[in-house]
Amino acid sequence: MLKVEGLNVRYGKSHVVFDFSVEVEDGKLLAVLGRNGAGKTTIIRGITGLLPGASGSVSVGGRDMSGWPAHRRTRGGVAYVPSGARCFQNLTVDENLEIASHANGGDRGWTKKRVWELFPKLEGLKNNMAGGLSGGERQMLALGRALMGNPRVMLLDEPTEGLAPVLVQSIGTLLGTLKSTGVSILLAEQNHQMALRVADRAAFIEKGRIVEVLPAARARDSEVLHRILGV
């Protein structure tokens, strides 16, 4: 279970995230929805431990990780899939996975073999440089790399950005599968249709604050969805 309490993020003098508190139970998915610039990425990065200006507490499965540096949080089971399908472009596909397998947070048994099974296309590309992959392939690799850490919590930042509808759908399916293995997922998305299909709850963000948290079913035609995302 991921529990975030009172997360505040400051960049120098500007305060960008205010008192963000959420809980995501095992096997549940929380969608974090908001416009561009609302603070979704900053919230996720705040939870990873990558932002020196972040304060507040983060715990995973009851273990308090506040004050831990990012690499320790990752080893404690927090996987981060940054936006733009970021990979180590100058490493091979194989190395991109290997590098993450050293960080064993849980015991869910993710191996390269299982990643190949999940994304058969990647296996054929394993000796290629990640920088030469297509957007969709890179996103698969980014997800595969996150899984290699056997995470208890996954933080995904717009994983469907720029992907073809077919791929968006399969990522949705994958997230559903991951939930069933007990991983807690925090998903920041612009694509609210996909997000709300797999989410259990949705948190709406505006100017760095949570304005409302709703069960996914109610969020779909909520007034806040229309107001914030303009749909």
Partner 1 sequence: MTPGQVLLFAVGGLANAAYLFIVAAGLSLVFGALRVINMAHGSLYMIAAFVTVVIGNQLGAGLGFWGGMLVAVAVAGAIGGVVEVLVLRRVYGREHLVQLLGTYAVSLIIAGAVRIVFGANYRTIVSPIPGHLDLGGYSYASYSLFMIAAAIAIGCAVWAMLYRTSLGRNIRAAVADPDLLNATGVNVTRLYTTVFMIGAALAGLGGSIVAPSQAVGSSIDTDVLVLAFAISVIGGLGSIVGSAVGALIVGMVISFGLVIPATNPFALAFVFIIMTAVLIVRPRGLFGLPES
Min separation Cβ 206 and partner 1, Å: 26
Min separation Cβ 145 and partner 1, Å: 7
Q: How far apart are CA 127 and CA 91, in angstroms?
A: 9
Contacts of 182 (CB under 8 A, 6+ apart): 26, 27, 108, 152
- What 3-state DSSP class applies to 185? strand
Min separation Cβ 57 and partner 1, Å: 19
Binding of partner 1 by 177 (CB under 8 A): no
Taking CB under 8 A as the rule, which mask of x and - marks residues 121-160 in contact with partner 1? ------------------------x---x-----------
Binding of partner 1 by 50 (CB under 8 A): yes
Contacts of 71 (CB under 8 A, 6+ apart): 103
For partner 1, which stretch binds (CB under 8 A), given 96-104, 110-118, 178-186, 220-228? 96-104
Question: CB-wise, 103 or 219, nearer to partner 1?
Answer: 103
List 5, 25, 98, 206, residue binding partner 1 (CB under 8 A): 98
Binding of partner 1 by 195 (CB under 8 A): no
CB atoms within 10 A of CB 19: 12
List 18, 26, 41, 75, residue binding partner 1 (CB under 8 A): 75
Binding of partner 1 by 103 (CB under 8 A): yes
List 86, 108, 114, 126, residue binding partner 1 (CB under 8 A): 86
Using CB under 8 A as the criterion, which residues of the chain lie in contact with partner 1 when the complex forms?
Answer: 48, 50, 69-72, 74-75, 80, 82, 86-91, 95, 98-100, 102-103, 145, 149
